[in-house]
A and B are shown apart, each in its own frame.
Chain A
Amino acid sequence: MIVGIQSAHGETAASFLGDGEADELAGAVLVDSTSQNPLWTARWFNGFSLSRTLAVNLGLSGVTGPNRTDRTAQTHLGGFDVFLKWQPTDAYRGWPFLSLQAEAMIRRYEIVDSSAALDDWGTYVQGLWGFTQGWIVAVRYGYADGTGPSTLEFDQRHRASANLTYFPTEFAKLRLQYNFDSADNLARQFAHAVWLQFEFALGSHAAHTF
């Protein structure tokens, strides 16, 4: 269990008193608040071995703090995450494995005096199958939606992805990914995307001192 108190300012606190460039939200003028009220964060995280080959991690998170629409307005964030991994005891250098991961988040962004609020939420679930050494095939589905004042444009967004990743060494990976997006704000309500990604790392190996 981790409980934290931190500044509500700064670019990483976009839902709070962050340094965003927007100056208006749902008719409310966003001000550079001088509020010193902090962000309160809490996270509970635990893991369980279900068997010698199966483990699960569970987490709950929450953040609350002031936002820029008014001195009294607050933003609340809540999240849940789960990670399940199967790996045989005789796995060779980390392969094979099967993992399932999901997260869900919900946000309530009070506008001015909490008489109106922006509510949005989202979730994703993904599965990875490391089928042979150095190779992983993965699928993922994500969803986001929200409701709020009519001046805000909200639409349902869906994304389904599939990718294939190859690790030629422990320091590099090559990934081919396909995304299918569906959202009202897209010109034809859907879009296709293909990504080719190459990533490499320099420096010492995580398991060694050089």
Chain B
Amino acid sequence: MRQPALIVSIALLPSVAWASQLQVVTTTTTLASITRSVGGQHVEVESICAGDQDPHFIHARPSYMRVVADADLFVRIGLELEKAWEVPLLRGSRNSAAQYGATGHLDVSAGIAKLGVPSGQVDRSMGDIHLLGNPHYWLDPYNGRLIARSIVARLVKLRPSSASDFRNNLKMFERTIDARMFGDELVSRFGGEKLWQQEIAGDLDAFLTGQGATAELSGWRALTPQLSKTPVITFHRSWTYLAARFRIPVVERLEPKPGLHPSPSHLVRVITAIHQHHVRALILEPYYDRKVADFVAGKTHVPVVVLPNAPGPGTGLDGYVAMLDNAIKSIVSHAPRS
């Protein structure tokens, strides 16, 4: 006699669990990965762009609009990265909660120290430049922390009852990033905040020397001396922030100007630069024109390294930290042997 009631209870369980989760839509898989890390069980996250897709060139499919229509929170990179498709996507979603200025709309670029902000007169002859700065800032792990903080602040606003969970998840996420960056031992001794303060101020090496802790440095930051001796060519200006953090010399780009296809005369300049600077690798994302890189590699014998700059399906990388780890270790594997 009690069986029907049991069946009804089981049938209701999934819908109750679903209803308690915030529906979050992110423009990129990087944002999706970070949101999952800090949102935990309280969020259901979907990314519009896949990890191996160019976020500059997404089509605002009606199916994407339906996804945004149900979103409690829409998270984007900003700095005009998604400019071409976010407007029709948001307009088509008819979701007032996700529109610009709404609580359910988050641009995580606020608070980021931007690189590549154009100065002086700007026009189309300069290529597809971004007026507000280079938007590929998530490739600096420090900015990954800032992104996570922005997302948590907004999640807390949307779901105050889960605030402590969000903040605990943020601590764990930051601890993961910090340990990958500086090594577990150093983070345990000084704390991630202190180490990042020194790093941002450019004083980390002196600080560690003063503390007699240089030998304890491990993780990505310990690879900086090797990375700084690994000159690279990139296809687009997408690795600027990673290069700045780890002092990787980017001596030239395959694009003559942002968004412009390489011309033969520019490729001649690139080949000359490769010889002059003893370039170690040609780096490009999966969606850039491999033929051009292969052509240059054929002339110079410099290896082509295909590096996803976002995790997720199609990349074999299961999260933001794995993506950074893959990028840094791939580049350092081409460092000269000293």
Query: Which chain A residues have a beta carbon within 8 Å of chain B's beta carbons?
Result: 45-49, 52, 55, 57, 85, 87, 89-94, 133, 205-210
For B124, list chain A residues within 8 Å (CB).
Answer: 205, 210
* B185 close to A (CB within 8 Å): no
Q: 30 pairs across A/B with beta carbons < 8 Å? A: A47-B61, A47-B63, A48-B63, A49-B61, A49-B64, A52-B50, A55-B59, A87-B59, A89-B50, A89-B287, A90-B52, A90-B286, A90-B287, A90-B314, A91-B53, A91-B54, A91-B287, A92-B289, A93-B259, A93-B261, A133-B289, A205-B128, A207-B84, A208-B80, A208-B128, A208-B131, A209-B80, A209-B83, A210-B123, A210-B131
Contact B54 A207 (CB under 8 A): no
CB distance from A167 to the nearest CB of B (A): 11
Say yes or no: A133-B84 contact (C-beta < 8 A), given A52-B313, A57-B62, A91-B54: no
A49 to B63, CA, bound (A): 6
Say yes or no: A89-B131 contact (C-beta < 8 A), given A49-B61, A133-B289, A208-B80: no
For B277, list chain A residues within 8 Å (CB).
Answer: none
Determine the interface band of chain B, counting residues with CB < 8 A from chain A: 20 to 34
For B83, list chain A residues within 8 Å (CB).
Answer: 207-209
Query: Which chain B residues have a beta carbon within 8 Å of chain A's beta carbons?
Result: 50, 52-54, 56-57, 59, 61-66, 80, 83-84, 122-124, 128, 131, 259, 261, 286-289, 313-314
Which residue of the partner chain, among B50, B56, B122, contacts A207 with CB atoms under 8 Å? B56
For A90, list chain B residues within 8 Å (CB).
Answer: 52-53, 286-287, 314
Contact A46 B62 (CB under 8 A): yes
For A209, list chain B residues within 8 Å (CB).
Answer: 80, 83, 131
Which residue of the partner chain, among A57, A93, A208, contacts B57 with CB atoms under 8 Å? A93
CB distance from A208 to the nearest CB of B (A): 7
Contact A210 B63 (CB under 8 A): no
For A85, list chain B residues within 8 Å (CB).
Answer: 59
For B128, list chain A residues within 8 Å (CB).
Answer: 205, 207-208
Say yes or no: A92-B54 contact (C-beta < 8 A), given A206-B84, A210-B131: yes
A52 to B53, CA, bound (A): 10
Closest to B60 in A: A47
Closest to B62 in A: A47
For B62, list chain A residues within 8 Å (CB).
Answer: 45-48, 57
A52 to B314, CA, bound (A): 10
A91 to B287, CA, bound (A): 6
A45 to B66, CA, bound (A): 12
Contact B57 A91 (CB under 8 A): yes
A47 to B62, CA, bound (A): 5
Closest to A94 in B: B57
For B289, list chain A residues within 8 Å (CB).
Answer: 92, 133
Closest to A134 in B: B261
A57 to B286, CA, bound (A): 27
Q: Which A-B residue pairs are the 7 nearest by beta carbons? A: A47-B62, A207-B84, A49-B63, A90-B287, A90-B286, A89-B53, A47-B63
